[in-house]
Each structure stands twice: as structure tokens, then as C-alpha cells.
Structure 1
Amino acid sequence: MDLFAADRLRLVEALPPQLSPEDRRAMDDAWDTAVRANPALFDGPVAGCMGLEHDARDGLVLTWVRATYRFYVLRKLPGATVRLPSLFVAVVQPVDDGRLLVGRMASWTTAPGRWQLPGGSVEPPPDGASLDLAALRHHAARELAEETGADTPADDLTPWQVTRGANGSVGVLFQAPPRPVPWLHERFAALASTEHALGRVPELDRLALVRSHTDLTGLGGTQVSYLEPVLRRHGRFRLTGRTGGPATGRGVPRSRPCGG
């Protein structure tokens, strides 16, 4: 897992990946199988990640493409010539005593029982519009509100880290202002009550507060790969009184595809 500072991130749109007829058929078959197993899946638009590289002048440059969710099944198909890692946003939500809010994915989601920060896949903007850090900030604020009920203004979110996992997926993490624990519990309870009244289960079925990566072992279930390193880094910043700064001593490779 790589971590990088997010304050100098630039996004560049590229052409969607071209699939061979064989890859297209295999992708469609795999997607149909996944939908039969989980009818809640939908093939909506997403912004996939094509590359993350370092630019001495601009910092991090992330190349993205317009795609749909079915393209992500290519990562699980042996022999597929195209792999499209995901691009997502997440919010680091601290409370007054320094702990962080994490949530468990509900049973109907693609990763039931998995613990993660509030967030989700990035949707592409309308044709002709650009995807930039401001757009990602607004998307992160919307995900935070939809999953926890915490309606924090987008302008109050600070770019914090960029994560890159072993499968090439890239996440842009934003830090929210600290909130009182009772307020967060009240907001989540109100959200859950509204969802249940509509006959739905919230995307996060449980929230927890963790102080460090060692607290994750008591949660049970699985966690996203970025969670432990993010908690380690948050703990170091908290101990030193810092909220940002260089994320790693290693530079980003000049050219490394997200799928690498």
C-alpha cells in the first residue's frame, strides 16, 4: 500500500480502454453471473483509474477514464488483457478525542462485513466537464452524508492522502473537522431510521470508533487494505500535532500504471 500527500493532485481524462471481442464477452458473462448472485449490483457510470505518476511541477497526476462498474470484473478474469482499477474517495472523520470513524458494509453490498472509511467509487462528470480535486471533495462530502448522516460542507473537507493498493486502485482521502461523538451517533441513528422506514438497509450497517490500527482486531470481519496504514499515519500525525504533510519518503514512480 502506497500513501502520498493529496494537496497537489491533478486529474487528466484519457480515452476508455479498448476491449477485444474475447475480453468483452468474458466481461459481460462475468458481470451477468455477479448480478445473478447479487441483484443489488448495477452497471452505473464510474471513473476508473488508468495511471498515477509523479510530476515534478504538479505533484501527483492521476489519469482517469469513463467506464461502468462491469469493467471492474476484468481484474478477476484470468487472461484478460485489460484491467481497470477503481478510483474512490473516502473521508477521515475524527472525533473530539482523536479517534476515527469507520463503518461496516451491509450484507447487500459488494463487500458485506468489510470495515472501511465512509466513501465510495467516483462518478464521472457530465461529458465536457472536468474531474478535479474540487469535484472529488464534493463527492466525498456526499458519500459521508449518505453513509453516516454527517452533513459536512464540502469546503470543510481538507485533501489529506492518496492511497494506491496492490491491485492498483487509487483512493483520494479527505479529512473532516472533528465532531462530538454524540452528534455522530445521533446523525447515524436518524439516517438509519429514515432508511428503515423506506424499507432499506443503510450501506453501512454499523459504525465504530478506533484510535489506532491495533483497535481493528476487535472489530471482526475484514478491512479494506488502506485502513491499517491510514490509521498508522493518522496516529503519527496526532502524536506530533500535525494534520498533513509528506505522506512517504518514497517518490511516486515517474510512470506506473494503476494496474501495476
Structure 2
Amino acid sequence: MSDRPTPDPRPYGFEVVRLARLEARLVTYDWAWARDNAARIDDNWRRRRAAQPALFDGPVLVACGCAIDDDTCRLDLFKTPYSRFLAYRDGGSPDGHVANAFAAIVPWSADGAVLLGRMGPHTANAGQIYFPCGTPDLDDVRGESVDFSGSAARELLEETGLRVPDAATEEWVCLRGEGQLAFLRPVRFTEPAAALVERMELYALREDEPELSGIVTVRGADDLDGAMPGFVRAYLASAFEAETGAADVTP
């Protein structure tokens, strides 16, 4: 019998679900919470804009339905102004019918590290450390479908200059908790962490106002940081637990 501890089924309060397929579609939805809290939304937007004038109140996509059957997730999203979404998120996601859903590439280096970015001071999540990602928007809509894979790849390219390798498999990990549905796609790159960090830093130097103020390299659970949101720490704890377990297995 192994003496290794049993993995936490909900690390940092998040359920970790591994998926082989993610399907997302755009639907219409009457968001009662936003309609009933118009004054709160306006006040929150004024406060946010005063602190970060670069914020733009464009349309974003928010989840109103999520069904996971075996290893497939089917997700419903609707369009709403960013100011409504931001007030909802800032208020602790009080409406259980709606969730903040987004996708991100998790860059794994050839030598087993995970690379994350520290958000710049002009962004809505300044100082936080997480994977390159963003709230999906109308640019991700393809007919009635929402392209989460394309959204994640675009954010990775825009924030780091890295492109998803053509040979990368498409598997997902869903982190569910705290009013969030984080869909993470782990991608293994052929370069070691130092080479990837150098590429990302050189890319940032060419940007007038880069999204990221720095790159963070994580090689194990001991590198988790309080500036990382819960879903990031939950994924990393689960992923490094799995990596350790795989290394302990004798062929």
C-alpha cells in the first residue's frame, strides 16, 4: 500500500475535471441580476475607470449553462457589456445561474516547468499571476459556436508572442468554483523554460504597453504564490501531483 497522501478532490475550493472535448455556443439570455442592479453596475464602472482609464466597455461572453457528460463539456454563453460582467465578478458572482467562463493555454516547457504571466498595472487584474487568457468576446464567435480553442491561442499569442505548436493535442482541464469556469488547455513546448522566457520577454519589449509585467516560472507546488487566483493554484497543485505520481510509477 502506498504511503502517498490522497489527492485533494477540490484543491483550493475548485473541482478539477479533465475533458477530451469542449463545445461552446452563443445563446440569448435575459440576465435578471444585471437588470436589477443597474445602479450598482454604473457605480462600479465609474470606480474602475477612475483607477484604470484604459478599460473599455465592449461586449463580452458570459456563461449561463454548463453540462459535463463523461469527458465532454457543453457550454452556453451570452453577450453582455464588460461593465456588467466586471461588476458581477467584483461583487463575488452573486447569481448562481451565471459564471465567468474563459479559456487559456497552459505553457509547459520541455524541462517540466509551467510559465505564467504577472498582469500589468494598467489591466483589470493588475498584479495577479496566471496563464495568458481573456474573457471571450464576439471575435470568438463562429456562426452559433464559440471557439474557445482559438480564443486561448489568440490570447497566448497577443500576450507572449508564443504560438501553439501544430502537433499539440487538444485536451482540456475544467476548473469549476468561485463562480468561474476556467477551461485550461495544457500544451507542451519543445524548448526549455529559459528559452521560452527569453522569447516572451523579447516580445514584451516590442510592445508599447504589454499586458504582462513579468514572466513567472513554476516547477512544483512549492512555487505557488498568493498572487495566483484560486483556479491557477488548483490546477498547478493537481498537475504537479499527477506529474509526481507518474514519476513514482515503476515501468
TM range (shorter): 0.7 to 0.9
Query: What is the aligned counterpart of 1:54 among 57, 61, 68?
Result: 68
1:75 Cα deviation (Å)? 4.3
- Could you give the per-residue CA deviations for residues 88-119 of structure 1, whole angstroms, max 9, x where no partner exists? 11111111221111111111111211111122
Q: 2:217 matched to 1:206?
A: no
CA positional deviation for 1:225 = 0.9
Return 5+ residue gaps in structure 1 as ranges: 243-260
1:246 alignment partner in structure 2: none
Root mean square deviation of aligned Cα: 2.8
TM-score (norm 1): 0.77
Aligned length: 231
Q: Do residues 92 (structure 1) and 92 (structure 2) align? A: no
Q: Is the 8 A contact 2:65 2:98 kept in 1?
A: no
Cα pair 2:108 2:188 within 8 Å, conserved? yes
Q: CA deviation at 1:232?
A: 1.8
Matches of 1:110 and 1:165, distance apart in 2: 20
Aligned residue in 2 for 1:131: 145
TM-score w.r.t. length of structure 2: 0.80
Q: How many Å separate the matches in 2 of 1:236 and 1:51? A: 30
Distance of 1:104 and 1:152 partners within structure 2 = 20
Give distance in 2, aligned partners of 1:71 and 1:154: 37
Name the SS of the counterpart of 1:230 in structure 2. Answer: helix
Give the drift of 1:210. Answer: 0.8
Is structure 2 residue 182 aligned with structure 1 residue 171? yes
Report the counterpart of residue 141 of structure 1 in structure 2.
153
Give distance in 1, aligned partners of 2:126 and 2:163: 24
For residues 78 and 15 of structure 2, the distance between their equivalents in structure 1, rounded to whole angstroms, comes to 21
Q: Give the counterpart letter for 1:161 in structure 2.
A: V
Aligned-pair identity (%): 27
Matched residue, 1:237: 242
The SS at the match of 1:112 is coil
Contact 1:27–1:71 under 8 Å retained in 2: yes
* One-letter amino acid of the structure 2 residue matched with residue 119 of structure 1: C
Q: Give the aligned residue type for 1:138.
A: G
Unpaired segments ≥5 residues, structure 2: 1-13
